[in-house]
Amino acid sequence: MFGLFKKERKRGEQFLVGSTDIHCHILPGVDDGFASLSTSVELLEREANAGVKRVYFTPHSMGLSGAVVDPRSYGTHHHHHPHSSKGGKSESSRSIQDESANASVFSSERNYEFEIEKLRAENKIVPSSILQAAREKEYAEINKLPEFLGEPIGGFSDAHLKAKFEKFKEFYTGRVDVRLAAEYMMNKEFLDKVKAKDLLTYSDGVHVLVETSYYSAPLEMDEILYTLQIEGYKPILAHPERYRYMGWNDYEKLKEKGIEFQLTYLSLTGYYGKTTLKCALDLLDRGFFDYTGSDYHRTSTFIHYAHKLDFNRRRTEALEKLFANNSKL
Of the two residues 52 and 133, which places its CB atom closer to Fe ion in the complex?
A: 52
**Residue 68 CB, nearest approach to Fe ion (Å):** 9
CB of 183 to Fe ion, least distance (A): 5
Closest of 229, 180, 227, 222 to residue 201, by C-alpha:
180
Residue 24 vs 134, nearer CB to Fe ion: 24
Q: In this structure, are residues 281 and 310 in contact, taking their beta carbons and an 8 Å threshold?
A: no
Q: Are 193 and 65 in contact (CB under 8 A)?
A: no
State which residue, 21 or 183, has the beta carbon closest to Fe ion. Answer: 183
**Exposed, middle or buried by CB within 10 Å (0-12, 13-18, 19+), for 145?**
exposed
Which residue is nearest to Fe ion, using beta carbons? 295
User: First CA to last CA across the chain, in angstroms?
Assistant: 41
Closer to Fe ion by Cβ: residue 99 or 183: 183
CB of 64 to Fe ion, least distance (A): 19
Number of neighbours of residue 118 by Cβ within 10 angstroms: 12
Q: Shortest gap between Cβ of 317 and Fe ion (angstroms)?
A: 26
- Distance from C-alpha of 210 to C-alpha of 185, rounded to nearest angstrom: 6
Binding site for Fe ion (CB under 5 A): 183, 295
- Between residues 32 and 136, which has the closer beta carbon with respect to Fe ion? 32
Q: How far is the CB of 31 from Fe ion (least distance, A)?
A: 8
Instruction: Report the residue number, 54 or 242, with the smaller CB distance to Fe ion.
Output: 242
The CA distance from 272 to 6, in Å, is 25
Handedness of CA 55, 230, 31, 127 (dihedral sign): positive
Rounded to the nearest whole angstrom, what is the least distance from the CB of residue 23 to Fe ion in the complex?
6
Angle between helices 313-326 and 274-285 (to 10 degrees): 80
